[in-house]
Structure 1
Amino acid sequence: MSDRGRSDASTGRRGPVVVGVDGSAEALDAVSWAADVAGRQGLELTVLTAVAPTVHVAATIDAPPGSSASALLDRARDVAADRLGDARVHVSAVTDHGTPAGVLVDHSESASLVVVGTRGLGEFTGGLSGSVSTAVATHARCAVAVVPAGSSRADGPVVVGVDGTANSMPALRFAFAAAAARGLRLVAVHAWSDIDVPQPDGADGGPHTEVGEQATLAESLAGFAEDNPTVEVDRVVVRDRPVRELVARSADASMVVVGRRGRGGFRSLLLGSTSRAVLHSVDVPVVVVPGDTSPTAARDETA
């Protein structure tokens, strides 16, 4: 099987699915969703909470009075076990010292997927501006899923944004794997009017046409479709803003998958405008998938 067809949760890694918990109901929804992914992908599951670096007692940041890291992790493991059912998945519980975002980013080095909730009690979740979920999605070394409250059992197709460049290839890989694992339809969305699509060397830089953009989408999907013959693919080419179309399609989706950076790929814009807008505009899980996660790329991103 080619690299495009790997069914791992991210880009060929077999590390655990890591989910942050803080004792909130929203975080437990994220645990349930993460357990489902781990069970379907045959990956280990790690439930993780953070404690302040200068505090040596087991109390989570911003946790309710009387709570403890061990109690929160025990509850999270119970939720995971309930979602996993008979699936044979190893579930580990980890307490780490540091800020929630920093701890999750650190663990992303060896993870297949990092999962966080939204609007919880502690700093694993938070508001839309400067939230931990945004920070983790921006800097993690693997794919990051942000799971809204109440959406952990949503069904419907997997929706993925495709921009026709190499930046969207890892997102396509993840989306095909997710659709195959769940037996779901894949909706591949290519919107092409907001900015010009870069032309390869020697190509005609003339005006775009719907026929040309259909061909761009078909080329992007070709290898993945061949390696995932059981996945039914709906191809959507629209002359519209990507955010508007992805948000509209999310209404009936089980998840939306986007690349971390858009067509520009500027190192200073680690989380592209489309990815950021979708992350904060839909009511289903959003998976943000980075591009090249090699050590060289990591140095480039932080240069």
Structure 2
Amino acid sequence: MTAQGTEQGTREPSIARDGNSVVVGVDGSPAAEAAVRWAASMCAARGLSLRIIHALDFSPYTYGAPYLDVAGIYGWMEDEGKETLARAAAAAREVSADIDVSTEISTMGGARWLVSLSEDSRALVLGASGSGSASGIGSTAVNAASHGVCPVVVVHERDGKVPDEGPVVVGVDGSPTSERAIAVAFEEAAQRGAPLVAIHAWSDTPHGTLAGGRGAIRDPRAFEDAEHEVLAERLAGWQEQYPDVTVQRELYIDGPRTHLLAWSQKAQLVVVGSRGRGGFRGLLLGSTSNELVQKAQCPVMVVRPARS
């Protein structure tokens, strides 16, 4: 059962298929509100519509179902959900009164619904914490980022607010998904008028695994030259397409997770491919993904592979 609420009431959802909307999941938490404001800013700057969603979670009542008034619980949860959506819509309109805002409630699981909506969205946006099924950074965010079609953004605050200054940072490893991440990162940097920092790690082992760092390399100069050439090749075409974006290249021998987290302390956005080879292999399958999504100090955008 799905309903879409507007200021005029409740109606059946009309799913746009032009990719001109951003979807943000809310649960009433401060983190979800931060995600709404971030998404609203993106929509206002790019002429996109904003779809605010709330998934009703009946799991706490599963075991008491034979003794509970299920219809009554649904009505109560739906009313609570509508209030949550109304507050989120108001927060979005505080960012910009001109953006097109719609709200939706569903009994479908948060991650499952988000993945479905990702088929037609420009981006999915989630808060970096929260108790509800839509905005938490646990399994919902990981599942959405692992299976969604469009980029998934987990919005983190730094020093009590979402950062809007600093560079856009992108992880580069040479994989096809990394290529998509580079394209998105250049677009984000251009839209924000921000410099771009491209990070390439030669090895995906933890930081400091290679004893001696560059000193352990037999020919450090040749290593530097070869890896900088790889990085330059990956960026060349995009630098031509976005000549106004200033690019800083950073090469590390190992520890991509460590370096991405460090850069998140001064970036306004980190963009990574969901998986690939080299420094970001298995990003969403193990500790790298968990640490980046949970511990980054700025919004993190995860870009999925192109569909075959």
Residue 135 of structure 2 corresponds to which residue in structure 1? 125
Q: Report the Cα offset of residue 163 of structure 1.
A: 0.4
Provide TM-score, normalisation by structure 1: 0.78
Residue 52 of structure 2 corresponds to which residue in structure 1? 47
RMSD in angstroms over aligned alpha carbons? 2.6
Cα distance in 2 for residues equivalent to 1:275 and 1:174? 19
2:146 to 130, 138, 142: 138
Residue type of the partner of 1:145? Answer: V
* 2:52 and 2:103 in contact (8 A); partners too: yes
1:78 to 78, 90, 108: 90
Matched pairs, number? 261
1:234 to 239, 243, 248: 248
Structure 2 gap segments, 5+ residues each: 1-17, 59-69, 206-217
Deviations 1:232-270, CA, capped at 9 Å, x for gaps: 1111112121111111111110011110002179x9x58
Cα distance in 2 for residues equivalent to 1:82 and 1:40? 14
* 2:27 and 2:134 in contact (8 A); partners too: yes
Residue 75 of structure 2 corresponds to which residue in structure 1? 57
Q: Give the number of the structure whose residues are more often helix, by fraction.
A: 2
2:199 to 184, 189, 192: 189
Moved over 6 A (4+): none
1:23 to 12, 18, 28: 28
* 2:22 and 2:51 in contact (8 A); partners too: yes
Residue 250 of structure 1 corresponds to which residue in structure 2? 264
- 1:30-41 aligned within 5 A: 30-41=35-46
The percentage of counterpart residues that share the same residue type is 40
Cα distance in 1 for residues equivalent to 2:204 and 2:112? 34
1:271 to 284, 291, 298: 284
* 2:22 and 2:121 in contact (8 A); partners too: yes
Comparing 228-237 and 67-76, the one that deviates more:
67-76
1:104 to 88, 93, 114: 114
Cα distance in 1 for residues equivalent to 2:123 and 2:263? 23
* 1:138 and 1:270 in contact (8 A); partners too: no
* 1:147 and 1:286 in contact (8 A); partners too: yes
Cα distance in 2 for residues equivalent to 1:165 and 1:126? 29
Q: Report the Cα offset of residue 148 of structure 1.
A: 2.1
Comparing 105-114 and 256-265, the one that deviates more:
256-265
Cα distance in 2 for residues equivalent to 1:59 and 1:231? 47
Cα distance in 2 for residues equivalent to 1:51 and 1:21? 11
Cα distance in 1 for residues equivalent to 2:136 and 2:88? 19
Cα distance in 1 for residues equivalent to 2:146 and 2:122? 16
User: CA 1:188–1:291 in structure 2 vs 1: closer, same or farther (change >3 Å)?
Assistant: same
* 2:173 and 2:278 in contact (8 A); partners too: no
User: CA 1:251–1:153 in structure 2 vs 1: closer, same or farther (change >3 Å)?
Assistant: closer
- 1:159-238 aligned within 5 A: 159-194=169-204, 209-238=223-252
